[in-house]
């Protein structure tokens, strides 16, 4: 899919710039051509020689390099590629992009290009979370710029949190998706997945048997059709897919918060098996046996219904809201009632009775309930169910 494609790779100044050397190798292995551009600050982290040697191309560094202007002007350079990738993208470069500034070669190319732009941010967690950066990111998303990452994790500066540049395989997947220009390109979709964990005390929790497999397949399929996917996942047993923005949560309330923070979106798919109840009197310390033989009395409080909350939004509701219905009997009737009660557009209903082997298994048998009626699909792998659903979502958003 990458063979013969040309990527204009803009490297700005961050410690993550070293990962770009591997990215260039992987792109070239797949037959893509890479035209490297670097900012002055990037030169503090990787050398121009490393970039040009790996890319097998001249590295472009200066706006006023007249030889380059004679050979290839910056306007031409900005359009000579199939895709523009910025990795790593610093807070400063994002700010320049959002503000339309053009005071060096990288920012000028980004302003002049008529090609799709994919950005892999990398910065300190506080810089990423700063309202100014978040405003810039929202502006750029509105301009149609696609994002991959940042990921959460240990940072070179010793802090922990979102800000690490996405890993090379994730960037490759995002590049493929961006180049594929699938039917969901430019669309943003939020997907919830996995179980939630509701604490009883700091070491115990209430959970359910969801593996997160179906939600993960759906997120992967949507990203494969070009969507920008925010994947809000509880503690699942299957790893999250590449090429999506992963937001990890534990409880239903955290999941709701993460979903709300990910909006606005064109569509939202709620595949998570959210706990309906949480322990209202969860203990701050590990509960101990008191010697009386009496079990502690747990009190429960109802969790927020994430699907119903989002489907019921009076402003900023995603155009398509898809819920799941996990039932053990009278599947279709319960699912239809659930669709009405939660005011979502579609319900994907499945029978999760243990005998079906669906929960935690590799296959699923679903009935899709829409305003037009109910459609039962044959028993398929979860990947196939996801593929069909993603296709239907693409049609609905077209």
Q: Which residues are catalytic?
A: 157
In the three-class reduction of DSSP (H, G, I as helix; E, B as strand; rest coil), residue 164 is classed as strand
- The SS3 of residue 273 is strand
Nearer to ligand CTP, 289 or 329 (CB): 329
Nearest CB to ligand CTP, comparing residues 128 and 324: 324
DSSP 44-102: GTS-HHHHHHHHTSPPB--TT-HHHHHHS-HHHHHHSSSEEEEEEE-HHHHHHHHHT--
Binding ligand CTP by CB under 6 A: which of 91, 232, 307, 393? 307
Whether the upstream peptide bond of residue 81 has omega within 30° of 0, thus cis, is no
DSSP letter at 15 equals: T
324: contact with ligand CTP by CB under 6 A: yes
Is 338 labelled as part of a ligand binding site?
A: yes
Cα–Cα nearest to 255, from 337, 197, 299: 197
- Position 198 contacts ligand CTP (CB under 6 A): no
x-or-dash pattern for ligand CTP, window 328-347, by CB under 6 A?
----------x---------
Question: Which 274-293 positions form the footprint of ligand CTP (CB under 6 A)?
Answer: 274, 276
324 is in an annotated binding site: yes
Stretch of 16-24, 32-40, 281-289, 302-310 lying at the interface with ligand CTP (CB under 6 A)? 302-310
- 3-state per-residue secondary structure call for 185-249: CCCEEEEEECECCEEEECCEEECCCCCCHHHHHHHHHHHHCCCEEEEEECCCCCCCCCCCEEEEC
Of 233, 303, 364, 367, the residue at the interface with ligand CTP (CB under 6 A) is 303
Question: Closest distance between ligand CTP and the C-beta of residue 276, in Å?
Answer: 5
Q: Per rule CB under 6 A, is residue 385 in the interface with ligand CTP?
A: no
Nearest to 36 by CA among 105, 114, 111, 112: 105
Cβ proximity to ligand CTP: between 276 and 375 the closer is 276
Alpha carbon distance, N-terminus to C-terminus of the chain = 24
Tell me if 219 contacts ligand CTP by CB under 6 A: no
Contact residues: ligand CTP, CB under 6 A = 192, 252, 270, 272, 274, 276, 303, 305-307, 323-326, 338
- Sequence ranges of the binding site: 276, 286, 304-307, 324, 338, 342
Residues contributing to the annotated binding site for CTP: 276, 286, 304-307, 324, 338, 342
């Amino acid at each position: 899919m990458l063979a013969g494609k040309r990527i204009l790779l803009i490297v700005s100044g961050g410690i993550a710039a070293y990962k770009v050397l591997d990215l260039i190798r992987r792109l070239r292995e797949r037959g893509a051509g890479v035209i490297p551009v670097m900012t002055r600050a990037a030169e503090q982290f990787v050398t121009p020689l490393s970039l040009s040697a790996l890319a097998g191309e001249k590295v472009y560094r200066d706006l006023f390099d007249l030889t380059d202007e004679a050979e290839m002007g910056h306007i031409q350079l900005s359009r000579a590629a199939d895709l523009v990738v910025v990795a790593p993208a610093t807070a400063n470069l994002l700010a320049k992009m959002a503000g339309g500034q053009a005071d060096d070669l990288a920012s000028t190319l980004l302003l002049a290009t008529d090609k799709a732009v994919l950005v892999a941010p990398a910065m300190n967690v506080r810089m990423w979370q700063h309202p100014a950066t978040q405003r810039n990111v929202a502006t750029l998303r509105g301009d149609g710029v696609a994002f991959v990452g940042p990921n959460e994790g240990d940072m070179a500066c010793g802090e922990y949190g979102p800000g690490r540049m996405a890993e090379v395989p994730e960037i490759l997947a995002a590049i493929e998706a961006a180049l594929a220009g699938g039917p969901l390109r430019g669309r943003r979709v939020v997907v919830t997945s996995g179980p939630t964990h509701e604490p009883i005390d700091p070491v115990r929790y209430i959970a359910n048997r969801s593996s997160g497999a179906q939600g993960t397949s759906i997120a992967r399929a949507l990203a494969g059709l070009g969507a920008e996917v925010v994947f809000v996942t509880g503690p699942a047993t299957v790893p999250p897919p590449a090429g999506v923005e992963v937001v990890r949560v534990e409880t239903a309330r955290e999941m709701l918060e993460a979903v709300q923070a990910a909006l606005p979106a064109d569509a939202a798919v709620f595949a998570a098996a959210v706990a309906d109840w949480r322990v209202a009197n969860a203990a701050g310390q590990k509960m101990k046996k008191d010697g009386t033989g009496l079990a502690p009395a747990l009190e429960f409080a109802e969790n927020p219904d994430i699907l119903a909350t989002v489907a019921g939004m009076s402003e900023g509701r995603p155009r398509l809201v898809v819920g799941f219905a996990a039932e053990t009997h009278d599947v279709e009737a319960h699912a239809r009632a659930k669709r009405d009660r939660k005011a979502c557009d579609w319900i994907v209903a499945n029978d999760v009775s243990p005998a079906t082997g669906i929960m935690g298994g590799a296959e699923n048998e679903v009935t899709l309930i829409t305003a037009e009626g109910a459609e039962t699909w044959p028993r398929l792998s979860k990947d196939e169910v996801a593929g069909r659903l993603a296709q239907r979502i693409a049609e609905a958003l077209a």
